[in-house]
Amino acid sequence: MDFKIRPARKEDCKDVSRMIMDLAVFENVADQVKISHEELERDGFCQNPLFECLIAEVPEEHKSKDGFTVVGYALYFYTYSTWKGRSVYLEDLYVMPEFRGNGIGKGLLSKVAEVGKEKQCVRLNLSVLDWNTSAREFYAAKGAQNLTESEGWHSIRFDKLNMENLAKEAPKD
């Protein structure tokens, strides 16, 4: 299938927002999505963007049954490893179900790797849910290593409330 991968523009945020929700539904965590397309516009398309995004687009004649031509996305940002230096973190990778199996996911993932390489990143990190064997196999097939299995890393988060509680304990200047 004919498709194009390009950097997202501000006006793509509605489509990205739609697919963020689709991905959350797929991951059974739809209730956790609080972000709006306005927030994506603000955070991704300002002077110092907090993320970058690539879009997969199909021609009008291949649009989805609901009329969408933007059918996949990869959202990523830059992190830093104190062992290795510049790194890129893939937050989301998603292709709409009716467009899967056409090389779009691979196209998005490899493009993120290319961008990372151009920015002199030395690694591409991501997280995937335990039960998502399909995605885990997809990444493994492309050469990714499972750090939980090989190094025993746990994924840790302070949610908003716990982060705010912690902040209250910060030493005063």
Ligand X SMILES: CC(C)(COP(=O)(O)OP(=O)(O)OC[C@H]1O[C@@H](n2cnc3c(N)ncnc32)[C@H](O)[C@@H]1OP(=O)(O)O)[C@@H](O)C(=O)NCCC(=O)NCCS
The site for ligand X (CB under 6 A) is made up of: 23, 26, 93-95, 100-106, 128, 132, 134-135, 137-138, 141
Contact 53, 92 (CB under 8 A): no
CB of 142 to ligand X, least distance (A): 7
CB of 154 to ligand X, least distance (A): 17
Contact 86, 80 (CB under 8 A): yes
CB of 160 to ligand X, least distance (A): 23
Torsion of CA 27, 31, 33, 38, to 10 degrees: 140
In 10 A of CB 23, how many CB atoms? 19
- Positions marked active-site: 139
Backbone angles phi, psi at 15, to 5 degrees: -65, -40
Could you give the 3-state DSSP secondary structure of residue 124?
strand
CB of 25 to ligand X, least distance (A): 10
Q: Of all residues in this chain, which one has the CB nearest to ligand X in the complex?
A: 105
Cβ distance to ligand X smaller for residue 27 or 52: 27
Cβ distance to ligand X smaller for residue 89 or 94: 94
Cβ distance to ligand X smaller for residue 23 or 70: 23
Which residue type occupies 40?
L
Closest C-alpha to 93, from 67, 128, 120? 128
Contact 89, 79 (CB under 8 A): yes
Cβ distance to ligand X smaller for residue 45 or 64: 64
